[in-house]
Chain A
Amino acid sequence: MARRVNWGWWWHRLGPALVGVNLGGAAALLLFRQLRWPLALWFALVGAAWLIAAGWAWWRARTNFFAEAEGLLRLETYLRWNNILSAAAAGGLRWPGLPAQPIRSLQWQWGKSAQPVLASLAFLLAALVIPVSAPPKPALPPPTQLPPALQQAQTWTDTLKEENLVEPATMESWAERLEQLKQKPQQEWYGQESLEADESLRNQLAQEIDALGKNLKKAADLLDALQNLPAGASLPADLQAALNAEASALQNSNLPMRQELAQMLNNAQNLSPSQLAYLKNQLQQGANGLNSMPTTMVAPGSLMSAQGLAQYYDPNAQAAYHSAQDDQLRYVRPNARGAGATGTGGGTNGLSFASPTDLRAQKQQGVNSKNLNSMVPGDVVGISISAPPREQADGAAAGAGGGASQGDGGEAVWREELTPQERALLQQYFK
């Protein structure tokens, strides 16, 4: 009797303690799973907490524990024996005969005491099975390296300044534009908008440099033709027209030639042989220098070293990282719409797998996620670069213009032959 009552008091104290331990354990379990800590440690901690709770419950309940005398009193109160058992136990009476049937004087009230514990165990079980996503990676320090596009643009503008072929005021304006992009906060350097602006500036500058180089080369060739005219011969009209056209092109581009050289070019037919030679030399050197610059436009995305990539953090871009062990990492912008299509050149594609050592996106490549099991809906698995799937010519009859494919309403048509006018112009300039 006393033992059963004591168990009841111990459970009475243990129940609330178990509820607290289980709820705390459930919260801890969620944390452990989120932080990827070992569950064996959690089991050990919860087990220890249960033991402590059991000990604490015993400590709190012990003042209510029944001794043998109190158990006898409880029993004789139930039987209405008016302290017969107590008197017999104290030696004041002979022990009475006990009833033949077992005495059930106490009933367990499991409903009230077990429900909270069972509910807390359900919380514990729920914490074990519900999916938990990994915590967001901590913010990396601001990048120290300029984006590649800006670096390229900076290099190009420095080279142009050294060449001293372009009007200084124009170079200043280009430098200002470059400086505006560099003045953005470092955290935003590798943001999508910033990268797009950088690439737009670089691409624009590359186009202008290409055009300038070509025009300088043409102008130098025309000056060479002018030099080779027989002495006393008049300037042919087409040569004059070509010189005027080139001078105009060089003056009206976004990289206008230096005023002094432009004036000389405009007055080429009146230059002395030495001046003509000087001008031609300047233009030739400038053209050689510009044409040798690596102004190839790179497809969206650029190669970066592992160290460089690890130095920045762009939450908006949702960068997908390869393993940090790889020397080459590739950063792509997943939100850039795939430009890959027939007739429009390269661009991003849907999800695919990438090889970190391949420098060119000429084939389907892919990225892999090392930890797909911990991903929840909404997480980016990976992004890729791939060459656009080029539609092969379907062998249809090539009409005028030599269209390789008819297209399919709205698509650009890829032509493989030149028109006669285009052919004549090219022949004229590239004799």
Chain B
Amino acid sequence: MDSPAASTPPPTGVIDPALTQEAARKLKLLHAAIANVIFGQEELISLAITGLLAGGHILLEGLPGLGKTELVKCFAKALQLDTKRVQFTPDLLPGDITGNPVLQETGGERRFVFQPGPVFTNLLLADEINRASPKTQSALLEAMQERRVTVLGVTHQLPEPFFVLATQNPIELEGTYPLPEAQVDRFLFKLEVSRVATEVLEKIVAHRRLGEDPLLASVMSRDELLQFIALARRVFLPPVVIEYIARLVNASHPGQSAVSQYIKYGASPRAAIGLAAAARARALTQGRGYAGTEDVQAVARPILQHRLILHYQARLEGLTSAEIASRLVAEVPVEAKSLPRTLAAAKIN
């Protein structure tokens, strides 16, 4: 692509390309640093970076031992973020997440002093979130959405940035509680951590020792991350891309597309907002000051797959929500209007 002319002043709202290029360079470094620890998961790492850049929470789903927790630890180290880990168990209480008032005696007076819970951090690793009771899971709802916690009528603001990286096991075992749709909808991405190829496994075996924490240097500071998050929000979203996002989300509802026959309930407007934010973040990782439909298509599957509630017919046919989301992206065209039969798109030489 030709570089823009330097003689003409940039239009209003255009991000300085130098900033986007610098942001892209840094983010590539972050990607490389984490990929140096988590082998064979390049796309997972890219999407996770995109999710964090968009300011969203991420739900990691995968079998045990695939590196979900390790990935979160890598982010914490590379981004120099305050990180806390909560192992969700069935006996975990909401106060164990948000914090509890504690009766203290100070100067002869007894009063309740709020003791912040582990949620008061930058990066909260919620391990095996589906093992906690629904009551405990709901304690995260306000924190994830509002970035604040209310205890005994007192609202406590959470620090910035605040991310929840939750993990869950796809195998349904005894003692697990599926996440309610309201909480699932608050995760920007749901990323599937899949098993790696044999070559990658060889590399893991060659470079990892059991129980040993891998070394990972810091790539960027917390303030830099906040700057990049702010910059991502300034990435320009053309009207045609906005219109494409709207059509994509609308097509996920029953009766609006061919694949929606398998969908009982479609994606919400929160999904559309998430698509826009994630597309901007991805564009920034590519060094662009504007987002395109390609960016939307790249992030559509992790954003939509956990927001689609399928019909039993889809389950009978063995279709997963991830496959439905992929079909949806393939079915909805980028252009709203088609060409007439009298015209055909020429082939590019």
Contact = CB atoms under 8 A, between A and B. Distances in A.
Interface in A165-181: none
A12 B292 CA distance: 31
A96 B5 CA distance: 7
A84 interface: yes
A110 B238 CA distance: 35
A74 B290 CA distance: 18
A105 interface: yes
A15 B341 CA distance: 11
A73 B348 CA distance: 16
B14 A8 contact: no
A201 to B, nearest CB: 77
Contacts of B342: 8, 11-12, 15, 108-110, 112-113
Contacts of A95: 4-5
**Main SS at interface, chain A:** helix
Contacts of B336: 70
Interface string B238-250: 1111000000000
Interface stretch (A21-29, A86-94, A387-395, A419-427): A86-94
Given A84-B1, A92-B289, A106 B341 contact: no
Given A64-B340, A91-B11, A97-B2, A86 B240 contact: yes
A73 B240 contact: yes
Interface string A365-395: 0000000000000000000000000000000
A12 B340 CA distance: 6
Interface string B282-293: 000000011111
A9 B340 CA distance: 5
B12 interface: yes
B5 A97 contact: yes
Interface string A101-138: 00011111110110000000000000000000000000
B107 interface: no
B340 A83 contact: no
Contact of A109 (B11, B337, B343): B343
A8 B289 contact: no
Interface string A63-83: 010100110111001111111
B11 A92 contact: yes
A81 B238 CA distance: 13
Contacts of A87: 236, 238, 290, 292
B13 interface: yes
Contacts of A413: none
Contacts of B11: 88, 91-94
Contact of B343 (A83, A89, A96, A107): A107
Contact of B290 (A4, A92, A105, A108): A92
B198 interface: no
A86 B293 CA distance: 11
Contacts of B290: 83-84, 87, 92-93
Nearest to A61: B340
A5 interface: yes
Contact of B344 (A64, A70, A72, A107): A107
B238 A105 contact: no
Contact of B238 (A15, A90, A97, A112): A90
B344 A96 contact: no
Contacts of B239: 69, 86, 90
A97 B290 CA distance: 17
Contacts of B340: 5, 8-9, 11-12, 64
Contact of B293 (A11, A83, A104): A83
A96 B6 CA distance: 11
B5 A109 contact: no
Contacts of A8: 339-340, 342-343
Contacts of B289: 92-93
Given A66-B337, A87-B238, A5 B343 contact: yes
A78 B339 CA distance: 13
A79 B349 CA distance: 11
A94 B10 contact: yes
A107 B5 CA distance: 31
B182 interface: no
A84 B335 CA distance: 15
A173 B8 CA distance: 123
A378 to B, nearest CB: 47
A243 B291 CA distance: 139
Residue of B339, B342, B345 contacting most chain A CB atoms (<10 Å): B342
Contacts of A104: 346
Interface string A299-334: 000000000000000000000000000000000000
A75 to B, nearest CB: 11
Contact of A93 (B14, B241, B348): B14
B240 A83 contact: yes
B181 to A, nearest CB: 33
A93 B335 CA distance: 21
A69 B241 CA distance: 11
B107 to A, nearest CB: 59
B224 interface: no
A107 B346 contact: yes
Interface string B265-299: 00000000000000000000000011111110000
Contacts of B292: 82-84, 86-87
B26 to A, nearest CB: 22
Interface string B54-83: 000000000000000000000000000000
Nearest to A65: B337
A106 B346 contact: yes
Contacts of A109: 341-344
B335 A94 contact: no
Nearest to B236: A92
Contacts of B339: 5, 8, 74, 106
Contacts of A86: 238-241, 292
Residue of A15, A87, A105, A113 contacting most chain B CB atoms (<10 Å): A87
Contacts of B92: none
Nearest to A78: B345
B11 to A, nearest CB: 4
Interface of A: 4-5, 8-9, 11-12, 15, 64, 66, 69-70, 72-74, 77-84, 86-97, 104-110, 112-113
21 contacts: A8-B339, A9-B340, A69-B240, A74-B339, A74-B345, A78-B345, A78-B346, A78-B348, A83-B291, A83-B292, A86-B292, A91-B11, A92-B236, A92-B238, A93-B14, A94-B11, A107-B343, A107-B344, A109-B341, A109-B343, A112-B342
Interface of B: 1-5, 8, 10-14, 236-241, 289-295, 334-346, 348
Given A81-B1, A83-B238, A108-B343, 10 more contacts: A5-B340, A66-B337, A69-B240, A77-B335, A89-B238, A91-B13, A92-B236, A92-B290, A96-B1, A106-B343
